Amino acid sequence: MGGRTLRLPARRLTRSEVAEAEDYPEWAERPRIRGDCECDARPCPFASCKYHLYLEVNPLTGAIKFNFPGLEIWELGQTCALDVADMGGLSLEDVGILVNVTRERIRQLEIVAVKKLRDAVERYREHLARDED
């Protein structure tokens, strides 16, 4: 793994750093849908994409979390969560390595995700039952 994650609060970014991050070069047209980037070269250069594994941006606070602070983007084995999903089922350990967290943390997240899915399915079934009446 690339060491512990590093969080950078948005308030520590200068205006010029924020402007620089928002200003892509003309030649770098950022993909809008999966089909736009599916066949592009890897590693993916668009670290600001929500599916990029190198960093995460908290939409509420703007804080940046670097998942692999000791590595550069081109040193990652995988850079896109959608590419990983296309590979099919992975072990908890493999997923943990890809996002730089422990296998146990992935297991905990899996439990939360499965519960949310079950709750959503149950709400949908209740909605369908009400519509049939």
Helices (H), 1-133: 15-22, 34-37, 81-86, 92-99, 103-132
**Total residue count of the chain as it appears in this document:** 133
Distance CA 40, CA 11 (A): 33
pLDDT tens string 78-132: 888 888 888 888 899 998 888 888 999 999 999 999 999 999 999 999 999 888 8
Q: Where are the domains of the chain?
A: 6-89, 102-133
Q: Residue 28's pLDDT is what?
A: 63
Distance CA 80, CA 74 (A): 12
What pTM was estimated for this model as a whole?
A: 0.63
Distance CA 95, CA 106 (A): 7
Question: For residue 44, what are the contacts with CB-CB under 8 A and spacing of at least 6?
Answer: 37, 52, 73, 79, 80
What is the torsion angle, in degrees rounded to the nearest 10, for the CA atoms of residue 106, residue 109, residue 114 and residue 115?
Answer: 150
What amino acid occupies position 74? W
pLDDT tens string 1-53: 456 777 767 666 677 766 666 655 556 676 778 888 888 878 888 877 888 88
